[in-house]
Structure 1
């Protein structure tokens, strides 16, 4: 996995116009090369364009990629020592290559999704308690 790449973002109008034209079965052409859009590719391109429209940074990582602890920590937005603690606690699967830990991108994303789900559940619990107590939420 390479470092972060930055590219100028096209105008919002251009991104929206391109996003609206995307649909399965359509063909993307770049000079003599062409690609028929599948349902999955269409969804991927739309999600990418929507993130760019929100001004978010985007990184594409293959699910089977093996990440270093530094790369994994960067993707999670946490410090490397905190990530290592998660690995040692068994919260994220990993394996060692020599003395170095490696994390599959797929396992990292599964942890991230589970963490977000748990966060939403906790927020729902807090909101429920606030409503029961009449705190106006």
Structure 2
């Protein structure tokens, strides 16, 4: 895993980057948004190779959740892993798959609620027109 020094990145350039992001795919937009939020908050950015292998503790830290929750996800088969004796090892590609799925589900949920709100607003507009 390598860390990227973000201390010298001009914050103003992220505004330009976000404007340009309006014309790119949702996945790339998620990436740009996550980077922008993290850098503006002063967070250190790290990258990892999909071929790296992680312990449950390392995976939990990377995903921002508790080790206990990671073990529950491993037990249910939500995150693929291998056993090495008694220990579990999680390939980086499995962490990436899980995170991609989690972002997709969040996006779908947000779209579902936005659609529901539009339907409610349209119904209220129709009622207002009738009155």
For the aligned pair, the TM-score class normalised by the smaller chain equals: 0.5 to 0.7
Which residue among 85, 88, 94 is the counterpart of 1:98?
85
Which protein is richer in helix relative to its size? Answer: 2
Aligned to 1:87: 74
Unmatched 5+ stretches in structure 2: 14-31, 125-131
CA–CA separation in structure 2 for the residues paired with 1:93 and 1:118: 18
In the TM superposition, structure 1's runs of 4+ consecutive aligned residues that sit over 6 Å from their partners are none
Cα 1:6–1:119, aligned 2, differ >3 Å: closer, same or farther?
closer
Contact 1:67/1:105, CA 8 A, preserved across alignment: yes
Equivalent residue in structure 1 for 2:114, among 111, 120, 127: 127
- Structure 1: any 5+ residue segments left out of the alignment? 17-46
Asked if the contact 2:74/2:80 (under 8 Å) is kept, the reply is yes
Question: Aligned partners of 1:124 and 1:8: how far apart in 2?
Answer: 32
Equivalent position to 2:62, from 75, 88, 95: 75
**Residue-pair matches, total:** 101
Q: Given the two structures, how large is their TM-score scaled by the length of structure 1? A: 0.62
Deviation of 1:9 after TM superposition, in Å, equals: 1.6
Q: RMSD across aligned C-alpha pairs, in angstroms?
A: 3.0
Choose between structure 1 and 2 for higher RCO, CA contacts under 8 A separated by at least 6 residues.
2
TM-score (norm 2): 0.64
